[in-house]
Amino acid sequence: MISKRQQLEQWTTVVADTGDLERIAELRPHDATTNPSLLLAAARDERYRHLLDQARELARELGHEGDLTWCTDAFACVAGQAVLSHIPGLVSTEVDARLSFDTAATVAKARRLMALYRELEVPAERVLIKAAATWEGIQAARILEEEGVRCNLTLVFSAEQALAAAEAGATLISPFVGRIQDWHVKRGLEITDINQDPGVQSVREIFHLLKGRGLDTIVMGASFRNAAQIEALAGCDRLTISPALLGELAEDDGALSRCLDPDTVAPAEPDGALPARALNEARFRWSLNDNPMACDLLSDGIRRFAADQRALESLLTAEDIAA
């Protein structure tokens, strides 16, 4: 009997949710995604300190020696290049979360990251620029996609975010399963059946919404707390999974059933909550304000990524002083 991971890969592209290059080489996923938290963990790991040196050298060569923002951007791209050497597919590289409410700054940062990747001779088609699915982040993705820069809109917690991102032409969206579950459990929800898991339900809703409307945006479930959540989303376009859970799936040779299939999704008719055209700014903002879970988790996710970005900058500064 083949493993559950092998069964999953019949229908779903597996993405590694880690910045550990050795684990990526061992797990051999198709794609990988990075974020400030994963980059910070890699920067603190002695095995990957050479990437920090490489990033500083790249910044120096481009005339930005000692510029902290250039060094951190260079580190993200150097790490992305290293990840790509172990996988056949794509890597996601995230824009500074502190720019989540500034469309122009997000676009400028994305262009800088892509310029750094060009310096590293990484093909543009192997990179996804990652930004938070705020209104401003979605508008930045619209501009970037028109320029040929493919985008991954992350921290998706609502159907409205997903629809607005897809209508803007985003290549991929990342709805978060585990954080949605956490939010509800903290407020007293008891989950006795995986089909009652609000995180699983959210991704299923988004998958059917986008496929039913004929939108091409890739749905990539993220932030899993257990293997059961992954199994309940078998057939989703992509799933980004931690090494521990990938290992668990690889060691389990039980039967796995497909739960999501775009070929079986019926065409969807627009309803009052989700109109035929993309949400305008006022309606988008109201939908977030009217959804305490999505509003809380989007804000919290941005704060967490911003904190890890600051920690990465502090680490680079401390090493420069020590040197």
Active site residues: 130
How distant, in Å, are the alpha carbons of 151, 267, 275, 286 from that of 211?
Answer: 19, 8, 15, 24
Q: Collapsing DSSP states into helix, strand and coil, what is residue 65?
A: coil
Asked if residue 233 lies in contact with residue 268, where contact means CB atoms within 8 angstroms, the answer is no
Asked if residue 289 lies in contact with residue 295, where contact means CB atoms within 8 angstroms, the answer is yes
d(CA 92, CA 218): 13
Task: List 127's β-bridge partners, or say none.
Answer: 91
Asked if residue 43 lies in contact with residue 293, where contact means CB atoms within 8 angstroms, the answer is no
Q: What angle do CA 94, 105, 102 make, to 5 degrees?
A: 95
Q: Which residues 6+ apart lie within 8 Å of 71 measured at CB?
A: 55, 56, 59, 64, 316
Residue at token pair 């497909």? 258
Per-residue DSSP letter, 47: G
Helices within 152-289 (DSSP H only) = 159-167, 178-186, 198-212, 227-231, 243-251, 281-289
